[in-house]
Each structure stands twice: as C-alpha cells, then as structure tokens.
C-alpha cells in the first residue's frame, strides 16, 4: 500500500524466515500491514494466532468452533488471500493465551498448513 512511513523487518526463526511490515495510522495507531506475501491490517497487541490454510469453505468456522468450545474469545479476526485458488492467512486476536491442546486440534485439520502464535504487548 501507499504509506507515509513503513518499516519492514525480516525475522529468522531456525531455517524459516518471515517478513513483516508495519506503519502508524494517524501518527499514533500502529498496524501490521504485511505478513510475508499477505496484505493485512492488524492491530499488534494481545495474543495472536496466525493460521496459514487452504482457502476452502468451513475453515474459519472450524477454527471459531474450536476456540469457542475452549472458552477463548475472539477480539479481532482478519482473513487475507494470497491469490484466488491459493492459500489464505487467518489472523485471530484474543485476550487469552492459546493452550497447546487448542493449537494441536486446529493443526489436525487437513486444510491447515501451519499455526503460529505471537504474544504482543
């Protein structure tokens, strides 16, 4: 996108690397606007779940049901599409920590390619 200012960072984690870009809206509201090849608009706070998935009907509903069944409230959610027929990125924000059992349940779906957790303050 067109931003007055933009900072882009590459994070190395083991053999993987990720690229994240952020900006300030109205000089005071931070936003993550890119995660790898996905254009997003994410408020960087709290506990975040980043799910790379096959773009198919039912994935968002399945993830929401798993979280709801475990009493985890979704405070923010955004979907980003790589391209039509490609993969999608689902970003979920919560005030609660995502337990490993919840992450494993989500990962067990054939449509889920990866699940990452970020805790930001």
CB of 19 closer than 8 Å to CB of 9: yes
Domain assignment present for residue 85? The answer is: yes
Give 53-80 as a DSSP string.
EE--TTHHHHHHHHHHHTTPPPSEEEEE
Residue 4 has pLDDT above 90, yes or no: no
**pLDDT tens-place string over residues 69-91:** 999 999 999 999 988 878 999 99
Domain assignment present for residue 1? The answer is: no
Domain assignment present for residue 34? The answer is: yes
Q: Name the domain count of the chain.
A: 1
The two tokens of residue 45 are 């706070």
The two most distant CA atoms of the chain are separated, in Å, by 42
d(CA 9, CA 98): 25
Domain that holds residue 88: 7-120
d(CA 19, CA 33): 11
pTM of the model: 0.87
**What's the CATH number where 64 sits?**
3.30.70.260
């Amino acid at each position: 996108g067109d931003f007055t200012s933009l900072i882009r960072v590459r994070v190395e984690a083991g053999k993987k690397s990720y690229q994240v870009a952020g900006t300030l809206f109205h000089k005071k509201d931070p936003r993550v606007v890119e995660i790898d090849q996905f254009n997003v608009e994410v408020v960087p706070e709290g506990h975040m779940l980043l799910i790379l998935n096959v773009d198919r009907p039912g994935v968002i509903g399945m993830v929401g049901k798993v979280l709801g069944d475990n009493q985890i409230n979704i405070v923010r959610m955004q979907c980003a599409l790589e391209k039509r027929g490609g993969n999608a990125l689902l970003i979920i924000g919560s005030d609660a920590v995502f337990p490993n059992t919840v992450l494993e349940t989500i990962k067990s779906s054939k449509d889920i390619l990866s699940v990452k957790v970020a805790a930001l303050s």
